[in-house]
Structure 1
Amino acid sequence: MAWDWNRRTCSRRGHVTYAPTEPHLNERLRTQTALGEAWRCLRCGDFALGGPGGSGRAQDAPSVPRGKALRDRFILRLLAVERLVRGVLIVLIAYAVWRFSNSQTAVQQLFNHDLSLLRPVAVHFHYDLDNSPIVGSIQKTFSYHRSTLVATAAALLAYALIEIVEGFGLWAAKRWAEYLTVVATAAFLPLEVYELTEKVSYLKVGTLALNLLAVVYILLAKRLFGLRGGAAAFEAERQGASLLEVETSAGEAPAGDRAGSTA
């Protein structure tokens, strides 16, 4: 069974009805039932009991996302949630790095103390702490200058803010956010590929695949950077759907189809 984005959205958010002032459209959108008047939903096309949600000229009818537009918005909002979660996590990491830069000596002393306590246990289990790659990586961070750690925290915070801005923009379906997401994500793809050459992990592979799919999808679906007709084709598609919203819901064919049928 095909997924009906229109009806499923209406089941969650309710119907969107509108009473155009043009008599012929008003008659087609309105019907009388034994339970009272009903108006056709501009999203799913079904009749809903009760008065219209708004009224005015057909060209002023609300632009209601339908079908493919609803699917695209759903996908973008999934990406938005992923960007927001990632942004918050990076903010926490940046804060941890900053805190570490302010108490680096104390943390090092605590680590050395705990390491001394763990050494007998490690010897018992035949684990060489002195040559452990994990211990070596931690000890290496103690050699970093405070200015380096502060700069790292600032860079992480800037990256996190970009992710959070992307998330809010994608959730609101802003076109500038789509450009920002494509540019920012593509800029970090070489780094992600380089990390895979150093060490392969399922998380790194999954992140790279997700970012690649996100870039390709947004580029093609939203016609960015001139692809598939560019901004002009995107605006024409969106405006055309908006202008025909009432007429389509009323069951009338677009002007081009009517002309073809009379030829």
Structure 2
Amino acid sequence: MDWSLRVCGRHGHVTYAPDEEALRDRLRAATAVGEAWRCLRCGDFVLGPPHGSGPADHAPVVPRGRALRDAAVLRLIAVFRWVKGVFVLAAAYGVWRFRSRHDAVQRAFDQDLPLVRPLADRLGWNLDESGAVHTLRTFLSARTTTLTWIFLALLALGALLVTEGVGLWLLRRWGEYFSVVVTSAFIPVEIYELTEKVTALRVVILLVNIAAALYIALSKRLFGLRGGRAAHEAERQEASLLEIEAAGLAAGEDLPSAPAGRPRER
């Protein structure tokens, strides 16, 4: 997939006219139907005046190719974090509602459980040894103070997940750091859960979180990995169409011409 063309098709082209005449000529073409400028993202010629102009070093750094693919992956992770955050916040709301009706729910559980026992016996379900019933009894026996702490912990976790999703969706560097730190902090907890009971879901979640943390840290060169921030910024600049054209100009390459046929319209 050509990510540059895909994004241009959805959001439009980005053109820029640098003040430097030699570089300007490499991005401009005269056609029978008017002036055309090269898109800084996909490189195609686009009819019409440029979106901006000024010194070349003031031109916008437009993500291209691999950078756009990385952005799509980060935003997919952001959606996953938002979905998880919504479930956690819903659980926090449920705990808060249950906290206010703790005694009533406890009485209802104690009264209704004996009514379910004959049906459970017919189905061969031992309620006394049921993990679900044991979990409910443990939860119902919790004090109001304990439920308050559970509510606050779930609320904080939900807020962390939503914040992480916002940072990743906006492609902010702080969001990338935040995501790696938060994800890595919960990996030991997920490993401990596997020592208690191994399930396919727990294994998948652990592997996904490890892969996400490694992918973000390595691809974005966080924590000094692969050259750190300086190498990351240099990579972004090297991928810029203006940088490529400036390098070609310095090497003495011939000026590009508009592609055969009619250039793309806005």
Q: 1:14 aligns with which of 12, 15, 20?
A: 12
Q: Percent same amino acid at aligned positions?
A: 54
What runs of 5+ residues in structure 2 fail to find an aligned partner?
A: 253-266
Match of 2:199 in 1: 201
Instruction: Return the alpha-carbon distance in structure 2 between the equivalents of residues 220 and 149 of structure 1.
Output: 40
Q: 1:247 to 1:185 in 2, by over 3 A?
A: closer
Q: How many residues align?
A: 252
Compare relative contact order (CA 8 Å, sep 6+) and give the higher one, 1 or 2.
2
Aligned residue for 1:111, secondary structure, equals helix
What runs of 5+ residues in structure 1 fail to find an aligned partner?
A: none
- Aligned positions of 1:1-263 closer than 5 A: 3-242=1-240, 245-248=241-244, 250=245, 252-253=247-248, 255=250, 258=251
Deviation of 1:64 (Å):
0.3
Instruction: Return the alpha-carbon distance in structure 1 between the equivalents of residues 115 and 64 of structure 2.
Output: 64
Q: 1:141 to 1:122 in 2, by over 3 A?
A: same
Q: Deviations over 1:8-56 (max 9, x none)?
A: 1111111111122222222221222232222111111111122211111
Instruction: Return the alpha-carbon distance in structure 1 between the equivalents of residues 49 and 200 of structure 2.
Output: 54
Deviation of 1:170 (Å):
0.8
Deviation of 1:205 (Å):
1.0
Instruction: Return the alpha-carbon distance in structure 2 between the equivalents of residues 73 and 166 of structure 1.
Output: 15
Aligned residue for 2:79, secondary structure, equals helix
RMSD over aligned CA atoms reads: 1.9
Deviation of 1:123 (Å):
3.1
Give the structure-2-normalised TM-score.
Answer: 0.88
Q: Which amino acid aligns with 2:15?
A: T
Deviates more, 1:209-218 or 1:117-126: 117-126
Instruction: Return the alpha-carbon distance in structure 2 between the equivalents of residues 133 and 164 of structure 1.
Output: 31
Deviates more, 1:37-46 or 1:47-56: 47-56
Aligned residue for 1:15, secondary structure, equals coil
Aligned residue for 1:253, secondary structure, equals helix
1:25–1:247 CA contact under 8 A, matched in 2 = no
Instruction: Return the alpha-carbon distance in structure 2 between the equivalents of residues 247 and 222 of structure 1.
Output: 20
Q: Which runs of 4+ in 1 moved over 3 A?
A: 239-242
2:117–2:127 CA contact under 8 A, matched in 1 = yes
Aligned residue for 1:62, secondary structure, equals coil
2:167–2:175 CA contact under 8 A, matched in 1 = yes
Give the structure-1-normalised TM-score.
Answer: 0.89
Q: Which amino acid aligns with 1:212?
A: I
